[in-house]
């Protein structure tokens, strides 16, 4: 009886060990993955484009609606498009590794920008400007803004501007 119990225990242990090894996951490699819905429509893609950008895209009949990825420079992004396919929201890290959130409508994607703002001239040095910027259609210039910018030393000054004029 004892011999039967020991043999059963050893047999069960060996069998379960072999089963675990056989079901170990492997690596799946592909250059593109496509997700299809029950009707056979293409609803998502995971791939790397010709520019080296890794994308995870979700789409509908109008095209890509959500695009999440990492660009060729290694900077991550998240972009959302409206029903017309035009960009409505973009969350990116700048070349300085600082966040920027841009929002827009069907007329222009850059109407409202929140986050770090690089100066117009290079080198940027220790520039440190953060704010909420409102822009007109097609303009890179802010029509209204509120935020903080680095002054002398480690001091920061707040700013409020309307139509390009700072209000004190």
DSSP labels, 87-121: EEEEEEE-TTS-EEEEE--SS-TTSEEEEE---SS
Q: Please say if the pLDDT value at position 90 is more than 80.
A: yes
Q: Please say if the pLDDT value at position 16 is more than 70.
A: no
Choosing from 67, 85, 103, the residue where a domain stops is: 85
Question: Could you tell me if 166 and 111 lie in one domain?
Answer: yes
Question: Could you tell me if 100 and 77 lie in one domain?
Answer: no
Q: Which domain holds residue 80?
A: 30-85
Q: Does some domain include residue 108?
A: yes
Mean pLDDT of 73-85: 92
Question: Could you tell me if 121 and 162 lie in one domain?
Answer: yes
Choosing from 85, 107, 126, the residue where a domain stops is: 85
Question: Could you tell me if 105 and 159 lie in one domain?
Answer: yes
Q: Please say if the pLDDT value at position 17 is more than 80.
A: no
Q: Please say if the pLDDT value at position 146 is more than 50.
A: yes
Global pTM value? 0.74
Question: Could you tell me if 100 and 165 lie in one domain?
Answer: yes
What would the two tokens of residue 120 be?
Answer: 């117009």
Answer whether 114's CB lies under 8 Å from 126's CB: no
Beta bridge partners of 45: 34, 57
Burial zone of 43 (CB within 10 Å; 0-12 exposed, 13-18 middle, 19+ buried): middle
Q: Does some domain include residue 8?
A: no
What would the two tokens of residue 88 be?
Answer: 């409505």
Question: Could you tell me if 79 and 107 lie in one domain?
Answer: no
Question: Could you tell me if 61 and 118 lie in one domain?
Answer: no
Question: Could you tell me if 44 and 80 lie in one domain?
Answer: yes
When mean pLDDT is compared across 43-47, 63-67, 71-75, 161-165, the lowest value belongs to 161-165
Q: Does some domain include residue 45?
A: yes
When mean pLDDT is compared across 2-6, 82-86, 88-92, 105-109, the lowest value belongs to 2-6
Question: Could you tell me if 79 and 102 lie in one domain?
Answer: no
Question: Could you tell me if 125 and 150 lie in one domain?
Answer: yes
Most confidently modeled of 54-58, 94-98, 148-152?
Answer: 54-58
pLDDT score recorded for residue 3: 47
Q: Does some domain include residue 74?
A: yes
Structural domains in the chain (count) = 2
Q: How far apart are CA 152 and CA 72, in angstroms?
A: 36
Distance from chain centroid for Cα 115: 15
């Amino acid at each position: 009886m004892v011999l039967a119990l020991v043999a059963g225990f050893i047999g069960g242990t060996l069998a379960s060990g072999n089963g675990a090894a056989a079901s170990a996951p492997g690596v799946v490699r592909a250059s593109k993955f496509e997700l299809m819905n029950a009707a056979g429509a293409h609803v998502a893609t995971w791939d790397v484009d010709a520019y080296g950008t890794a994308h995870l895209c979700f789409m509908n009949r109008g095209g890509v609606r959500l695009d999440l990825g990492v660009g060729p420079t290694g900077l991550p992004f998240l972009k959302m498009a409206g029903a017309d396919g035009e960009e409505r929201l973009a969350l990116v890290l700048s070349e300085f590794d600082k966040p920027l959130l841009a929002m827009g409508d069907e007329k222009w994607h850059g109407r409202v920008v929140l986050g770090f703002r690089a100066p117009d001239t290079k080198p940027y040095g220790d520039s440190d400007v953060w704010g909420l910027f409102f822009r007109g259609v097609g303009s890179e210039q802010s029509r209204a803004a509120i935020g903080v910018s680095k002054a002398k030393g480690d001091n920061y000054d707040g700013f409020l501007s309307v139509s390009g004029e700072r209000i004190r």
